[in-house]
Structure 1
Amino acid sequence: MTVRTLLLWCPDWPVIALEIVEGTPAAGPVAVLHANRVIACSPAARAEGIRRGLRKREAQSRCAALVTADYDPGRDTRAFEPVIAAVEEVVAGVEAIRPGACAVAARGPARYFGGEEPAAERIVEHVAQTCAVESQIGIADGVFAAGLAARSGRVVPPGGTARFLAGLPVEAINRPALTDLLRRLGIRTLGDFAALPPGDVLARFGFDAALAHRLSAGQDHRPLAVRRPPPDLVVTETYDEPLDRVDAAAFAARSLAERLHEMLTRYGLACTRLGIEAVTEHGQELHRTWRHDGLLTAGAIADRVRWQLDGWLSGTNRRPGAGGPLPAARPTSGIIRLRLIPDGVLAHLGQQPGLWGEAGEERDRAHRALHRVQGILGPEAVVTAVLGGGRSPADRANLVPWGDERVPARPAGQPWPGRLPPPAPAVVLPAPLDAAVLDGTGEPVGVSARLRLTAAPDRLVVGTAAPVSITGWAGPWPVDERWWAPAEASRRARFQVSLADGTALLLSLAGGRWLVEAIYD
């Protein structure tokens, strides 16, 4: 069930955070860059033609007075901590979405303040008075829709979220590769995207696109299958020496995050919402909940704990020019207890751990053992498979010595005309098996020069085995390799066939000889 959500959004937050932390005036033309491209800019910069996505050189050519700074998520988080604290003074249960945005269930504030709009006005006013930060609030069914509604400060009526999303451009799902493809297919709005059959979207574009399709239809996927975790999933660490430096806290955060992720992996679970609790030497209790749009990996958990501890331990007490103190976000003493609570977990069905685990001593031991085998038997004794380019499954699989750079013999990015369509076979035979394809009268089936079957395939005989009925086939897919060198030329036609016993095979025909090349799962 989609939850009615109130989301507070601070426009141009990386620019505002730069002013709060480093004193760079946001009133002038300012741009924050990541990977040499603009990801946020001030209103004055937009007036000069600066837009998100511009390269640094082009942005500077449009505005010679432009002040640029590199993107720093830690800086953004530290600056946003007082804003979250200010919101938490008005409503309870605030979740940090990302630096610059936080959300809360709308039902409680609406009942307390007499409606959703009065609650939104109260929160915005309190943040402005306390932190001197401008903000906007959007209210809709689900976090995704509320985030888009916040861009225009809109309250979407209950049940109207799908209608609200339908008119927005497809770029709102914030997946550039997918939106570029959808645009080329003529899908220009979220309504057009939501109208596609869900099964077709999953089959054509993949799992992430299927999630984006649900969001486009106004269906928030996050609450599905979320359950309250058992008590033993909580990890806690107590420190004899209080953590009062950010570097020491970051080291402690990574160790605790790895423990939590290892425990979740052991139970086959993944974390989507993380609670961080800290107790200081003076008994002060701090708590924050972080929300994530995907599954939190060990690195992502460690980053959020590090950002939060950085925000608590290095919080700025005053914004330049604000004229008033911010909420007291910095603790009065060092942290002596840290606790991580996976407040939203679900069954981890989409990722399989590595052969020797994802990290740690077991993996290192396996690597050392493999290197010892190579030292005794030679580098070719231990190999790993690399998927490269080619027209057949046997051509695409390359074996590279363990420890060498995993570079395929043939580049996979080339077009490779005549390449087999998916799905790929599960087993590629080291040596193809001789076979015969017969029609209904027992005569061999061939392929004409125009790539037409001489008769409908009816039975398959592999070696000396009994004939098996053919229930379906696809092809032929011709391959004409090295035709310019007659001595090395190779020409063949390939087929995918399904048999009555449920087996699916990849067959090839060359020079009148049928071969079984691979087996499908």
Structure 2
Amino acid sequence: MTAPRTMAPWVADWPATAAVLAGEAGQLDPLAVLHANRVIACTPAGRERGVLPGLRKREAQSRCPELVVVAADEARDAVFFEPVLAAVEQVAAGVMVLRAGACGFAARGPAAYFGGETVVAEKIIERVATETGVEAQIGVADGTFAALLAARAGQVVEPGGTPGFLAALPVAALGRPVLADLLQRLGVNTLGEFAALPSSDVLARFGTDGALAHRLAAGRDDRPLEVRQPPTDLSVSETFDEPIERVDVAAFAARTLAVKLHERLAGHGLAATRLEIGVVTADGQELSRVWRHDGLLSAQAIADRTRWQLEGWLTRRQLTAGITTLTLTPQGVLHQGGLQPGLWGEPGADRDRAHRAMHRVQGLLGPDSVQVGVLSGGRDPQHLVTAVPFGDERAPARPAGPWPAALPAPYPALTVADQPVDLLDADGTPVGISARLAMTGPPARLEVGDRRARVVSWWGPWPVVERWWDAEAGRRGVRLQVQTDDGVALLLFLTGGRWFVVGRFD
């Protein structure tokens, strides 16, 4: 069975091209993308200076001292490849993403429509260059695997000629380094030599993956194309003839556009958990703000957040002129049934009212005016909570751990911002801690401002050493827990020769 004719647009060194498009370097600058301390892609300027894939970072920089080095980023590669895919889809339908930098589609339809495979290839190369400024190459062959290899040479393989085209290529072209190394040690150096082996022997010796590679080497790539579904543009926008400068007019526009956005999402069976609100003013100023929501955004929720944001911009005089364009873009889009309710069930009216009030305060005073606490990692009780703006992603400032020498539970019920305290022994001498963690005397009294209490028991001391390698951010100290005669238990911290109260236990 002959593999279907496939066309494969391909961009050489795509990770490097994506890094340039992301602004990591200029178009003519030498740039290399590294993974595991080795070059995996570089720009033409880097190749001219001797930088090649496979080189270690130090070797690459010795060949080109001005080399710009960036880390591999699959997300960056995928994001900046999207415009290339969109340009290809203007000429051909049913595009499949092979990987970031390469795609494929069935050649039969476009070739019949435009009058030949060569014509289609020229149109796609021109469209990609015009739309994105990227130089692409196209390969045409029987099957996706052969078409992608042909793209590296910019070659159109005639129908039925794929096995002959593949036969001369090295086994490294399979993209399976372990298998290729084993084949070379067995004396099999080309795809033609590998394809000549009996299929049953290949399956018995190399397993299922080797058998699949054997079919590819023989040009029997009959896997169907997995057609990509282009992302739907769900954003809605409205342009106003008269610039909006009043809050009541903005509120009316917000409600109308919110209903339109909600209907568009519902028509696709979708809902959003985040909303980006963007405006353009009469003098060209652009502002945007992303609102997060604990749940699915209803039409009322979209309208409220849009109105609050516009009211905040207008009343705080952040806009230099009236609003001429309002755009609502849904983010965090998921299917209607894709979000589980909280432990308390669906949000109730009381909770929605409270959320609306807090969002309105944020719209008037800024996102940092209402904050919530998020449990974080850390060694001290002051670091165990991160304050984030209400509605934003509840991401802790520090990972959960493990944190060696962290204060064990139970934690203080109340944390204090380093309140100075005097810890004295029975003679009134300040209690200190030696380098060997020996106390200069047993604690007897505690003086905090005008308050004096007798220490009846204590636990510790425990040393704390953080970021010892950083002279500015590093910290050394000692913890001590004490209990006074009035039943109060405190957490003390000694640093720089001074005691501080950092927490109080219930």
Bigger radius of gyration among the two: 2
With normalisation by structure 2, the TM-score equals 0.47
TM-score using structure 1 length: 0.45
Q: Which of 1 and 2 has higher RCO (CA within 8 Å, sep 6+)? A: 1
